[in-house]
Amino acid sequence: MLPYVTLFGHTLSTYSVLAILGFLAGLLLVVLASPRFGLNRDDSVYLYVFSFAGVLVGAKLLSLLPLLPQMAADLPMLWTGEWERFVRTYLTSGMVYYGGLAGAVVGAWLTARYFSLRLSDFFPVLVPAIPLFHAFGRVGCFCAGCCYGVEAPEPWGISFTHAVAGPNGIPLLPVQLWESGAELVIFAILLWYAGRTKVRERLLPAYVLLYAPTRFVLEFFRGDPARRLYGPLSTSQWLSLAAVAAALWLLYRRKNHEYSK
């Protein structure tokens, strides 16, 4: 694997580089596609950038939620000379995707409110950017060795040699690459659908209904301890079920609204 790359004399984590590339790919999509949907490019960029800020905040907050009791117990580390270990333990690692998705929606909604914009008008460029960015991120996970799959015999499994967040020398299913490929398919479907639906509010539920079942199934093939099982399902599987329910409710609400006109 390739957990680190050297660029311009600086050693950087491959995950960070791919995350930046994913952000830039999404930004390029927003800039190029906005005129096609009659959207102001500047407004689209503002919404995208602040939604991405929401991604970072939401993904981190949800990752910290189950750690709050231990985090509270470790707070004295901040004034006993161990603040660096506290930051390294709780703030520099660990992100939960569904928290990032919720944060993106909140960030975009707040920005739309501030600029007096209708957020759903921008869904044709903002929603397809989500799986596009995520596809890059999952390749980054593969390079780092995190979010890895269960053990599997070769040729189905791939053995890491320089993983920084997973076991080395053990054949593991490349679930990260499977999800990245699925995200690209979802991206293509959403881009096609965005150009054909007149009801732009449907795009966000459509993304959730494409992604959540995919994530639910892929979770069965994950082998990393970060999955955190609660009963028979992982955290992300429970969140996937909740996301599907929310998406179906939004579509039902929209359908009733159309009938009431």
pLDDT at residue 259 tops 70:
no
Mean pLDDT of 34-53: 97
Can you give the residue range of the structural domain that contains 10?
Answer: 4-196
Of residues 36, 39, 61, 38, the one with CA closest to residue 48: 39
Backbone phi, then psi, for 41, in 5-degree steps? -60, -45
d(CA 244, CA 217): 13
pLDDT at residue 257 tops 70:
no
pLDDT at residue 93 tops 70:
no
Answer whether 0.85 is exceeded by the pTM.
Answer: yes
Whether 172 maps to a domain, the answer reads: yes
Whether 73 maps to a domain, the answer reads: yes
Of residues 194, 31, 69, the one with CA closest to residue 127: 194
pLDDT at residue 88 tops 80:
no
What pLDDT sits at residue 192? 97
Q: Residues 51, 108: contact at Cβ < 8 Å?
A: yes
Whether 35 maps to a domain, the answer reads: yes
**Number of domains making up the chain:** 1
What pLDDT sits at residue 128? 98
Mean pLDDT of 135-152: 93
Whether 122 maps to a domain, the answer reads: yes
Residue partners of 37: CB distance under 8 A and separation at least 6 = 124, 125, 194
Q: Residues 97, 236: contact at Cβ < 8 Å?
A: yes
d(CA 57, CA 100): 7
Whether 190 maps to a domain, the answer reads: yes
β-pairing verdict for 158-159 and 171-172? antiparallel
Task: State the angle between helix axes of 97-114 and 123-144 in degrees (0 to 180), rounded to the nearest 10.
Answer: 150
Whether 97 maps to a domain, the answer reads: yes
At 126, is the pLDDT very low, low, confident or very high (cuts 50, 70, 90)?
Answer: very high
pLDDT at residue 258 tops 70:
no
Mean pLDDT of 129-157: 92
Whether 107 maps to a domain, the answer reads: yes
* Residue bearing the bigger pLDDT, 93 or 205: 205
Of residues 21, 2, 25, 36, the one with CA closest to residue 158: 2
Q: Give me the chain's average pLDDT, please.
A: 90
Whether 207 maps to a domain, the answer reads: no
Burial class (CB within 10 angstroms; exposed 0-12, middle 13-18, buried 19+) of 241: middle
* Residue bearing the bigger pLDDT, 87 or 148: 148
Question: What three-state secondary structure class fits 40?
Answer: coil
